[in-house]
Amino acid sequence: MTPRHSGEPASESDRPASGSASREAHSMSTISDAQDSSFSLTTDRRPFLDVRGLKVHFGTEDGLVKSVDGITFGLERGQTLGIVGESGSGKSVTSMSLLGLHRRAGRSGKGGAIMSGEIWLDGKELISASPDELRALRGQKMAMIFQDPLSAMHPYYTVGMQLIEAYRVHNKVSKSEARKRAIEMLDRVGIPQPDSRVDDYPHQFSGGMRQRAMIAMSLMCDPQLLIADEPTTALDVTVQAQILDLMRDLQREFNSALIIITHDLGVVAELADDIMVMYGGKAVEYGPAKTVFSAPEHPYTWGLLSSMPRLDRPVQDRLVPIPGSPPSMINVPSGCAFNPRCGYAELCGRVSAHGPDVCSAVVPELIQTTGAGRHLVRCHLPADVRRQTFDEEIRTHL
Amino acid sequence: MLTYIVRRLFAAVGLLLVVALITYCIFYQLPLWAGMSVNNLAAEFVGKSQNQQAIQGVIQRFHFDQPFFVQYYDYVKAIIVGDTYSDGTQLVHCSAPCFGYSFRNTEQVWPTLLDRFPVTLSIAIGAAVLWLIVGIAVGVLSAVRKGSVLDRTVMIFCLLGVALPVYFIGPLLWMLDGFPGISYNSFLGDPIGWAQSLWIPWVALAFGYAAIYARMTRAGVLDALNDDYVRTARAKGLGDGRVIFKHALRAAVMPIITMFGMDVGAVLGGAVLVEFTFSLPGLGELAITSLQQSDLPVIMGVTLLAAFFVIIMNLVVDVVYAKFDPRVRLA
């Protein structure tokens, strides 16, 4: 695992700026281990993208929706972070807020997003940045690939026009120069006959082609941070693999930081260096992809892995879905947000030193596990019990 | 594209024939079916001089003594090739397109229609430009400022615009302007006088339409602002103006194109209320007076002309729509 993260990965979600007290209480071997083992080279320097205690809340008629409730992560150029979770876990809101695409709430707290925390991109803080500053960065320094390329491209304009527009908004060049660049990029993402396809409309492209064009559009200005929000969900399985290959190649070529947001663990397994599993607006497990896949420690991650179909498994084996549905973001369950759906809450109550109701009473913190390497888990189960449970009950089903 | 238009024009002719048939049935056959004698029906056309000779002339003129389909065939034929007939006292030639002869006005119908049309056209053009521009501008503004005082005020005005009839707003404006003379001046002769004398009818007519267009634009833009491609446009780093006008409005304007074509078509067939309110001698006013006088040939003429405009504007809408939406292929 290459070192890339700065310290403070474990700031507690409810108190992002002042998590030190709680961290001390829980740390023991956690933070210092983490820093020693993998953060030593970068402790003095911010990573390229540094998100700290990001909260995105929305004031609605029904109450405050805490879509993202304190997440912290870092990402260097050339690295890939996979954010995984069910619908409504806050992963898309996270990506939108990085680009500053949420309309900000007024003083009344209504009509938009209430954002707090810090987003540092290449040394610039984005939450306090003005709309114009953000606009200048969008498409230029950070770009986004959306889920459904058919609806994400304007149906009435040619693909070329939309690429040219993306280029010219940040670069003072003539139309013909921008067009040349558009053809070049379409060629680069593997669109055949780009110099004639450039004048086609999105509906004249196939699904995979459209997503390629979408990727070309996001790369027009050579962005250093690329966010792909469910980039393959709307595509055929065969095309998915092509698109993922393409994204990996392009990321290497452009040396950009890549965030892939998905509910599909297969996608992040292909691409991601790091994985952050989100549930109820919070990160529940965060670590290197290899670790999260080989030794996941959060019951929710176990659930995601168990519900993934595998070809190398007997057909008789049934998939194990996670019972229940994602929590309401207004009335988030007390304590651990996952506890009503968690099969281990009872076990946790029995073995925990904090009493039988710990899961529904106390919000667990995202802390370093006792294992080697940086690996953070938000669960009340003691680490040794988690590992034992995984080895004995879960691994055999995967 | 050209074959499409030609085919649509043929279809339009067919549709007009059907409209003519139905109208013809209503005005010339329904009274007979309802038990009216041919003599009495013919007497309707003669006007004040109720002599038997004139009535016989009318019966011959309209071929009331012939079977229904012969009557209808002759009516359509006259429109295409013209007709020569006796009005009871003398032979009259009516060149194509011959919509017949108005015994009330003692005039042929087609020249009357031609005479009235510029008035209606003037009212339609002025009002349409006004309501289109104002409606879209106001709609965009209130969509962008959704929920603001401006938005709410505009929406109240829109409600008023829909609720208040032309014959309320028209005289109100007329009064506020100090009762200026309202008459029709030919645009070609006196463009400034043309606009000056017609601005009140324009505003009166456009107010209601503008209200509807503003609401449609507002809803459309608000819808589009939530669409994925607008999010993409913003993610590209485009400014608000470009996002709203180039991306959101571009999509929102499509249903408005459709509606605009239909509305203009309908108004061209006679802006009945506004013409009647201000006694402007247009097609709508002609329709009302001829209805009051049971002047059937004129009613037929106005109806067919109105149908013609609606059908033609429909065709124009389809062609324009295909021009604006690349996904639509005309075939």
Q: Could you tell me if B15 and B129 lie in one domain? A: no
In a domain, A256, yes or no: yes
Residues B168 and B79 both lie in one domain: no
CB contact under 8 A, A144 and B235: yes
Say whether pLDDT at A165 is over 60. yes
Going by pLDDT thresholds of 50, 70 and 90, the confidence category of residue A31 is very low
Whether B81 and B114 share a structural domain: no
CA–CA distance, A66 with B150 (Å, rounded to integer): 31
Looking at per-residue pLDDT, the higher value among A270 and B50 belongs to A270
Q: What is the pLDDT of residue A122?
A: 92
Q: How many structural domains is chain A composed of?
A: 1
Contact B236 A136 (CB under 8 A): no
Identify which of B239, B247, B324 has the shortest CB distance to residue A135: B239
Residue A158 lies in a domain: no
**Rounded to an integer, what distance in angstroms lies between the CA atom of residue A248 and that of residue A267?**
11
Confidence class for position B83, pLDDT limits 50, 70, 90: confident
What's the pLDDT band for A13 if we cut at 50, 70, 90?
Answer: very low
Which among A99, A153, A169 is the nearest to B229, CB-wise?
Answer: A153
pLDDT digits (tens, 9 = 90+) for A85-118: 888 888 889 999 999 998 888 777 777 899 999 9
Lowest mean pLDDT segment, chosen from A101-110, A162-171, A271-280, B109-118: A101-110
Q: Is residue B234 part of a domain?
A: yes
Instruction: Tell which of B34, B66, B98 closes a domain.
Output: B98
| Helical (H) or strand (E) element with B168 | helix B166-176
Do B116 and B198 lie in one domain? The reply is: yes
Same domain, B77 and B159: no
Q: Residue A146: which of B232, B250, B327 has the nearest Cβ?
A: B232
Task: Check whether A20 has a pLDDT greater than 60.
Answer: no
In A91-110, the residues whose Cβ lies within 8 Å of chain B are: 99, 101
Tokens 């998915």, located at residue: A240
Q: At what angle do helices B166-176 and B191-225 cross, to 10 degrees?
A: 130
Percent of chain A whose predicted confidence (pLDDT) is above 90: 50
The CATH number for B230's domain is 1.10.3720.10
* No. of helices (H) and no. of strands (E), chain B: 15, 4
Indicate the pLDDT class of residue B108, thresholds 50, 70 and 90.
confident
Query: A225-229 and A257-262 as β-strands: parallel, antiparallel, unpaired?
Result: parallel
> Which residue reads 């989100």 in tokens?
A278
Tokens describing residue B263:
């509305």
- The pLDDT > 70 percentage for chain B reads 97
**Mutating which of A104, A144, A151, A156 best tests the B interface, going by the most B Cβ atoms within 10 A?**
A156
Q: What is the mean pLDDT of residues A385-391?
A: 89
Size of interface A-B (CB pairs under 8 A): 71
Does B130 lie in the same domain as B194? Answer: yes
Mutate to test the interface with B, among A96, A146, A154 (most CBs of B within 10 A): A154
Q: Specify the pLDDT at position A180.
A: 96
Domain span at residue B276 reads 110-324
Give the CATH number, domain containing residue A310. 3.40.50.300
Say if residue A211's pLDDT is above 50: yes
Separation between Cα atoms, residue A285 and residue A298, nearest integer Å: 6
Mutation site for A-interface testing, chosen from B232, B240, B253 by largest number of A Cβ within 10 Å: B232
A64 to chain B, minimum CA–CA distance in Å? Answer: 20
pLDDT of residue A32: 36
Is the Cα torsion angle B175, B176, B181, B184 positive or negative in sign? negative
Q: Identify the band that residue B135 occupies on the pLDDT scale cut at 50, 70 and 90.
A: very high
Confidence of residue B69 (pLDDT cuts 50, 70, 90): confident
Q: What are the pLDDT digits (tens) for B245-282?
A: 999 999 999 999 999 999 999 999 888 999 998 989 99
Residues with Cβ within 8 Å of residue A393, at least 6 apart in sequence: none
Contacting residues of A for B238, CB less than 8 Å apart: 135, 139, 165, 169
Residues of A in contact with B325 (CB under 8 A): 155-156
Domain membership flag for residue A165: no
Which pLDDT value is given to residue B86? 64
pLDDT confidence of A19, banded at 50, 70, 90? very low
Choose between A16 and B280: higher pLDDT.
Answer: B280
Determine, yes or no, domain membership for B330: no
CA dihedral A252, A255, A256, A261 (to 10 degrees): 20
pLDDT at A205: 94
Residue of B nearest to A200 (CA): B326
Specify if A306 maps to a domain: yes
CB contact under 8 A, B247 and A154: yes
Mean pLDDT of chain A: 84
Cβ neighbours of B182 (radius 10 Å): 18
Q: Does residue A296 fall inside a structural domain?
A: yes
pLDDT digits (tens, 9 = 90+) for B6-49: 888 898 899 999 998 998 888 888 888 888 888 888 877 776 66
A225 touches chain B (CB under 8 A): no
Tokens encoding B273: 């209320």
Residue A289: give the domain boundaries. 20-141+223-397
In a domain, A270, yes or no: yes
Chain A closest CA to B131's CA: distance in Å? 25
Query: What digits encode the pLDDT tens for the residues B296-313?
Result: 889 989 999 999 999 999
Read off the pTM. Answer: 0.81
Please state, for a pLDDT cut of 90, what percent of chain B lies above it: 47
B313 and B266 within one domain: yes
Smallest CA–CA separation between A274 and chain B, in Å? 25
Q: Are B91 and B142 in the same domain?
A: no
Instruction: Establish whether this prediction's ipTM goes over 0.90.
Output: no
pLDDT surpassing 70 at residue A37: no
Residues of A in contact with B227 (CB under 8 A): 151
A244 against A16, higher pLDDT:
A244
Boundary residue ending a domain (B98, B119, B150)? B98
Question: Domain for residue B331, yes or no?
Answer: no
Where does the pLDDT of residue A21 fall: very low under 50, low under 70, confident under 90, or very high at 90 and above?
very low
Q: Which of 304-363 (A) contact B at CB < 8 A?
A: none
Tell me the pLDDT tens digit for each residue of A334-362.
899 999 999 888 888 888 888 888 898 88
Distance CA A382, CA A390 (A): 12
Task: Please report, for residues A195, B69, B108, the alpha-carbon distance to residue B97 in angstroms, rounded to integers and kept in the order given.
Answer: 54, 20, 11
Domain count, chain B: 2
> Do β-strands B83-86 and B91-94 pair in parallel, antiparallel, or remain unpaired?
antiparallel
* Chain B residue at shortest CA distance from A131: B239
- Whether the per-residue pLDDT at A35 is higher than 50: the answer is no
* Residue type (1 letter), A66: K
Indicate whether B203 and B54 sit together in one domain.
no
Closest CA to A303 of A278, A327, A321, A277: A321
Q: Give A75 or B189, the one with higher predicted confidence.
A: A75
- Among residues A112, A216, A231, A209, the alpha carbon closest in space to that of A164 is found at A216
B120 in the same domain as B171:
yes
Closest CA to A377 of A270, A312, A286: A286
pLDDT digits (tens, 9 = 90+) for A271-330: 899 999 999 999 999 999 999 988 899 999 998 888 877 777 676 667 778 888 888 888
Same domain, B123 and B16: no
* Domain final residue, candidates B44, B75, B98: B98
Higher pLDDT, A77 or A9: A77
Instruction: Report the pLDDT averaged over residues A359-382.
Output: 88
Lowest mean pLDDT among A13-22, A50-59, B90-99, B276-285: A13-22
SS3 B160: helix
Report strand pairing: A124-125 vs A113-121: antiparallel
Q: Of A243, A284, A247, A272, give the one whose Cα is nearest residue A86.
A: A284
| CA–CA dist B108, A392 (Å, integer) | 100
Q: What is the mean pLDDT of chain B?
A: 88
| Residue A363 in domain | yes
A3-12, B36-45, B183-192, B241-250 — which is least confidently predicted? A3-12
Looking at the structure, tell me whether residues B224 and B147 fall in a common domain: yes
**Chain B residue numbers touching A217 (CB-CB < 8 A):** 232, 236
